[in-house]
Structure 1
Amino acid sequence: MIREVWIGLFLMVASCAFATGEKVFRLGSPDGKLEVAVSVGRQVTYTLTRDGRVLLDKSAVGLVLGGTENKIFGHDSRFIRKKMRSGTEKIISPFYRCPSFTVEYNEMSLSFKESFTLVFRSYNEGVAYRFVTAVRDSLTIQNEVAEFNFDRDYKTCLAWSTAAEGKDPYAMAFQNVYEKQTLTGLDTGKVAFLPFVVDYGDGVKLTVTEADLEGYPGMHIKAGGQKKQLKGVFAGYPAQMAYHPWRHMTYVAERSNYIARTEGTKSFPWRVLAVSSKDTEMPVNNLVYALASSNRIGDYSWVKTGKVAWDWWNDWGISGVDFKAGINTQTYKYYIDFASENGIPFIVLDEGWYDPYKGDMMTVVPDVDLPELVRYGKEKQVDLILWTVFNVLDEQLEAACRKYAEMGISGFKVDFLDRDDQTAVEMVYRIAEACARHKLSLDLHGIYKPTGLNRTYPNVINFESVFGMEEMKWSTVEKDMMQYDVEMPYIRMMAGPVDYTPGAMRNASKKDFKDIYYNPMSQGTRCHQLVAYVVHDSPLTMLADNPTVYRKEQECTDFIVKIPNTGFDETRILQGEMGTYIVTARRLGDDWFLGGMTNWDARDVCLDFSYLGEGNYKAVLFKDGVNAEKQATDYKKEELTVTGQSRLKIRMAPGGGFVISITKK
């Protein structure tokens, strides 16, 4: 009887497929674990499985055309042909978590009579798809269909837009703590930004993000309620712009009823579906970088990375000097002196070196002698980075790049884009290209998550889009930074590097933490701050506290500046669990830098050094002190000898961490 039922079901499904003309095309990963099955019928859908387990149930894709086209690529589309190929690519990755890496993939291209192709790629680390169009005329994209359907009510981890109620949900700084909720428990009225994670249990997770975002709006996510569905949503194309008086920053005053206008022949962004079988694979997943367009600037030997003495977080808060600290030449010479003494290659002049109300970055305020600071910095082997607002730079792009490159400025920290609609994304590419021509580096703040721009333009050396240390100036302890710190490396860092701005020397337990604007502190211990310089992928990293404090804490300062930012031969996640703790190791030649951080739970970890080569190694360890649970600044420094046979047990205090440098004797 059971056999007869199964035969009947099979015949029914087969007859339905025959009746609708549906075709199913399958693509496996090189290791055979992942499979995407694409169904081409009235609607193009795909299913994603891992070892036969459904990760994504039949999910629709499509491009909804506006204007006179009045059609949907992916709906009632006429299939022509399938093309299969396999590839192996060695990718050179400057200023990344490793100098190069190799990927294998299988690719399936499905072409349609309506002059578009749907391309799927399957890697061992995940699957990606994109639309490629070959239409003679330009296209107006009314919307994009991007469904993520699930067979069960799985847990998710995502970050919501922080736009105020009633305001544009697509206008945000792309930084918030994560919410963990089941699919059906998610708020259907909110918009989330990428990346997001779905947890299937047994260690298996799906992370959704995008790569090669160019000339097109970024994707956001809305929940489908009881449908167990997430779907992509997109900001409308700006119809009218306006200015905020403060900072002369533009914002979208009115949006169109379509999302993009593009050329007819275009490769659209990759939708990235990264699959991990254990959490330690997540921070070192390379799909976003691998799927981005390759280097467009050629030689990048002029690009510099490293640590930065930063003024804004500590509010120019130096003391014990005989001049008024603030945005003036004397203060910045003090920062340059501090940077020079400690081998720090940069200082940044954050907001205030030009009048933000006027929006004219060609005119420096009278209290800052910028040419003199550049001269003084060169004398001390310290370069200057200038803060500015995205649209302010864009409106004076060629003139500003030429003037400050000729003056000897190293690059710009560009802030307050706060959107990712098509025109915002186009602005980012325009700025990256112009700065590359003038040999200027970029640190992008107030921006959407990385989508591989740092591969295409290697002069883009860092991105914010992270709930970083700046938030501690005004957030209460309810914003659980310790929880975020052991979620973010698994989720956000998969997309690319982070300008988290660590380095606080005022540290507080959960009970003692306060938001103090002029003298801010960190949640968690001193060692939690130190290890951020190892855990974070960050080619350009701020020292967020002020030089006066760092000079009083010289032992910690020396250790921070010793940790390299880039040039690592490899990066490994030795242990960890998303939302609980992480232990990262980075190798540079025979030397290693490793460390771990935990949430507000105290934790013991046992380190295994079997990855070391032959011989003895000198290890310098900074770990939480025995009283760090109450006195978060308490730490202990130890020097010891380790070998490949050594084992070491370390206790992390609540909100704590440890960090070790290992040098071959």
Structure 2
Amino acid sequence: MVQLTDPDGTITIDVDPNGTLRVDRSGETVFEPSPYGLPTPYGSFPEEFELDDVRTRRIDESYELVHGKRSSPRHRAVEKTLSFEGDGGSVDLQVRAADDGIAYRYRLRGERDEYLHPGDESGFRFPPGAVAWLSDYQANHEGHSRQVPVTAVDGEYNLPGLFHVDDTWALVCEAGVDGDWMAGRLVGTRDDAPGVDIGFPESHPTSHVWADDPATTPWRVAIVGDLATVVESTLPTDLVDGPRIDGDWVEPGRVAWSWWASGSSVRSLEEEREYVDYAAERGWEYVLVDAGWDDEWLPDLVAYANDAGVDVELWSHFIDLNTESKREERLSRWAEWGVAGIKVDFMDSDDQGRMQFYDDLARAAAEHELTVNYHGSAVPTGLRRRWPHVMTYEGVRGAEYYKWTTNTPEHNATLPFTRNVVGPMDYTPVTFSAERRATSAGHELALSVVYESGLQHYADGIESYETYPIAERVLESVPAAWDETRFLRGRPGSEATFARRKGDGWFVGSITAGPAESIEVPLSFLDGETTAVVATDADEGDGLEEYERAVSPDESLRVSVAENGGFVVRL
């Protein structure tokens, strides 16, 4: 048995060289012995390999992110590399115990080129009584969140998955998925103990992994701790290599967007100019011109927007960018027009070919200094650290679903603990005019703080926002990138109350799913006395009210919220 413990001495990993891995937190079991393994051209790992060497290193590094929940993350961990030898090849199993979780990956070394690989055989097994928050698998990663006992987990689910084991929470995810591999999913299993395995797209030559030795898999990750640890963790980016470009030109921002409120507006230069004017009035950095734009008037719109101090993001179907020649033709032309970035849509696949497209587009866009928004996409896996201009991913059942069905308040209040933990989330929030919503106006407004995205697309129309002047004041002040994030209180599916800081300014966002109530907001994160400006649900109707309170770090702030309500506090 090989054992390693995180620098804080809280998380312990026991690695059995015969193919299982067990995790404890403060002496309590989080994962029962869970399988690891890797089919190789040299035999099945680890069954047909022998442990040859174990190396240990301590990691303590800090780095910078252009956008995210924290601008200067710190990663502390203990890593052990178990080297195994087989017949003609070898495998390194890298295992890391960090302050906020565990991770492992495989490195296969040999002499083979271009062989089809079915994926690794990794899984997580739980003690009795564990509960999960999952979303059913869809290729566009837009499943609805739900709570389920682990013993009832069956079928396929999107990553990440959140699990509650006694006093510990574990968010199972992956990090560093790029064109060398394929994106995973969770598959329910009850072979030995209840749990999940990492699954992959069905194997065939055009969708599975073509590997060359040496080959390295993505990290299999579990963020482990209390809910604050999960929410505040940057483990997925901690595990990815540093930036491959100089991102000084990259600017996060708020985005005016016409498609949600009026899909036909993208075919009208005049209406798009109205959204440019509105963005300029609000001080928002961008306007997104979605599907249906016309290249006869788009350059004029870009010039008009740039004169107003607003940059333009441009929609494209991925098919129009899926070859090198297409990318060079279009990206160079759009950059010449003055476009600042692209929203690329409808990838809708987890296979290696699509992951290679993500890589190729990120590289090509960087050459033209264009930011990227992946829509109809996989879930992020920490690559914002490698590619700072990759601003956000959809990979979520977001506000667009209000156009044809709905999102429950419980779904909204689960995402901050699951999907948005692992990376930027293009939910496109703050849709006051959604007829199918069950959320209050305060809930909708608070999504601007609770949800994090390097490009925060505010989806409602100009007329709708103008009927909520309190919301306009809030949305003028809320940034799209943060220096620090704190979990204050909540539970998946019922409440999420976070504090986020940019510079010297703090913002608190809170959303609830359930009856009207009062929320006690702890203020210990403050440095001293200040004034709190609260925007919350009005006593009557679907409006907002605003008031001020003098506050200090040694007290709490009580805010009343409506049913399925929410609020924003500016400090």
TM-score (norm 1): 0.82
**SS of structure 2 residue aligned to 1:330:** helix
Q: Structure 1: how far apart are the matches of 2:277 and 2:432? A: 19
Q: Structure 2: how far apart are the matches of 1:652 and 1:226? A: 45
Question: Partner residue of 1:431?
Answer: 361
1:290 and 2:238 matched: yes
| AA partner of residue 182 (structure 2) | P
| Aligned pairs for 1:182-581 within 5 A | 182-187=149-154, 190-202=155-167, 204-214=168-178, 215-225=180-190, 227=192, 228-236=194-202, 239=205, 259-276=208-225, 278-297=226-245, 299-316=246-263, 327-353=267-293, 364=295, 368-395=296-323, 396-476=326-406, 479-480=407-408, 482-506=409-433, 514=436, 522-566=437-481, 568-581=482-495
Q: Is 1:59–1:147's contact at 8 Å kept on the other side of the alignment?
A: yes
User: Bigger shift: 229-238 or 399-408?
Assistant: 229-238
Question: Partner residue of 2:61?
Answer: 89
Q: Structure 2: how far apart are the matches of 1:263 and 1:579? A: 43
Q: Structure 2: how far apart are the matches of 1:391 and 1:55? A: 43
Q: Structure 1: how far apart are the matches of 2:129 and 2:334? A: 54
Runs of 4+ more than 6 Å apart:
none
Instruction: Give how far 1:153 is off.
Output: 4.5
User: Bigger shift: 140-149 or 572-581?
Assistant: 140-149
Structure 2 CA distance for partners of 1:150 and 1:588, relative to 1, 3 Å: closer
C-alpha RMSD of matched pairs (Å): 1.8
Question: Partner residue of 2:5?
Answer: 28
1:661 and 2:566 matched: no
Q: Structure 2: how far apart are the matches of 1:118 and 1:130? A: 6
Q: Structure 2: how far apart are the matches of 1:179 and 1:599? A: 13
| Aligned pairs for 1:118-157 within 5 A | 118-138=93-113, 139-157=115-133
**SS of structure 1 residue aligned to 2:132:** strand
1:174 and 2:151 matched: no
Instruction: Give how far 1:486 is off.
Output: 1.2
Instruction: Give how far 1:183 is off.
Output: 2.3
Q: Is 1:293–1:452's contact at 8 Å kept on the other side of the alignment?
A: no
Q: Structure 2: how far apart are the matches of 1:472 and 1:316? A: 14
User: Bigger shift: 382-391 or 48-57?
Assistant: 48-57
Instruction: Give how far 1:309 is off.
Output: 0.8
Structure 2 CA distance for partners of 1:316 and 1:233, relative to 1, 3 Å: closer
Structure 2, gaps ≥5 residues long: none
Q: Is 1:117–1:131's contact at 8 Å kept on the other side of the alignment?
A: yes
Instruction: Give how far 1:329 is off.
Output: 1.3
Q: Is 1:411–1:442's contact at 8 Å kept on the other side of the alignment?
A: yes
Larger radius of gyration: 1
Paired residue for 1:55, among 22, 25, 30? 30
Question: Partner residue of 1:607?
Answer: 521
Q: Structure 2: how far apart are the matches of 1:384 and 1:526? A: 28
Identity %: 28
Structure 2 CA distance for partners of 1:600 and 1:120, relative to 1, 3 Å: same
| AA partner of residue 31 (structure 1) | D
Question: Partner residue of 1:4?
Answer: none
Paired residue for 2:535, among 622, 625, 628? 622
**SS of structure 2 residue aligned to 1:111:** strand
Instruction: Give how far 1:614 is off.
Output: 3.3
Q: Is 2:37–2:121's contact at 8 Å kept on the other side of the alignment?
A: yes
Q: Structure 1: how far apart are the matches of 2:112 and 2:372? A: 35
Q: Structure 1: how far apart are the matches of 2:505 and 2:421? A: 25
**SS of structure 2 residue aligned to 1:524:** coil
Q: Structure 1: how far apart are the matches of 2:118 and 2:32? A: 25
User: Bigger shift: 48-57 or 434-443?
Assistant: 48-57
**1:439-486 CA distance string (max 9 Å, x none):** 00011111111101111100001111111111111114xx42x10111
1:76 and 2:76 matched: no
Instruction: Give how far 1:326 is off.
Output: 5.3
How many residue pairs are counted as aligned between the two chains? 563
Q: Is 1:79–1:110's contact at 8 Å kept on the other side of the alignment?
A: yes
**SS of structure 2 residue aligned to 1:506:** coil
| AA partner of residue 109 (structure 2) | A
